[in-house]
Amino acid sequence: QSVLTQPPSASGTPGQRVTISCSGSSSNIGSNTVNWYQQLPGTAPKRLIYSNNQRPSGVPDRFSGSKSGTSASLAISGLQSDDESDYYCAAWDDSLNGWVFGGGTKLTVL
């Protein structure tokens, strides 16, 4: 049972826009910033979004992040087959004094 809650799966067709949610509490998302990571099959994770909505250089602007209260979202527009991957949210938790991850969302491009 992860501290941050994500849907286990999501799907969309090429060109579509999909959103992945991440729900937490006042001790994590509610008081700290959220990062998002992409993990392609068989590879190490890669940072996709940091500080709720900032994209590192090299990450396409099709990826965007947002946060409201104790929830955060990752949006992917113009869906491509290469986007088929696992996506994880993460935040520092003030009560646990540690980082927490969401359980991950497996995105399928139909």
| Residues binding other proteins (CB under 8 A) | 2, 32-33, 35, 37, 39, 44-47, 50-51, 56, 86, 88, 90-92, 96-104
Q: Which is nearer to other proteins, 52 or 64 (CB)?
A: 52
DSSP letter for 83, please. G
Q: Which is nearer to other proteins, 3 or 109 (CB)?
A: 3
> Minimum Å distance from CB 15 to other proteins?
28
Q: Which residue has the tokens 């994590």?
A: 28
> Minimum Å distance from CB 85 to other proteins?
13
> Minimum Å distance from CB 71 to other proteins?
18
> Minimum Å distance from CB 34 to other proteins?
9
Q: Which is nearer to other proteins, 13 or 92 (CB)?
A: 92
How many C-beta atoms lie closer than 10 Å to residue 40's C-beta?
A: 13
Beta-bridge partners for 92: 99
Q: Which is nearer to other proteins, 15 or 56 (CB)?
A: 56
Beta-bridge partners for 87: 38, 105
How many degrees, rounded to 5, is the angle at CA 68 between CA 64 and CA 73? 35
SS3 content of the chain, % helix, strand, coil (to 5): 5, 50, 45
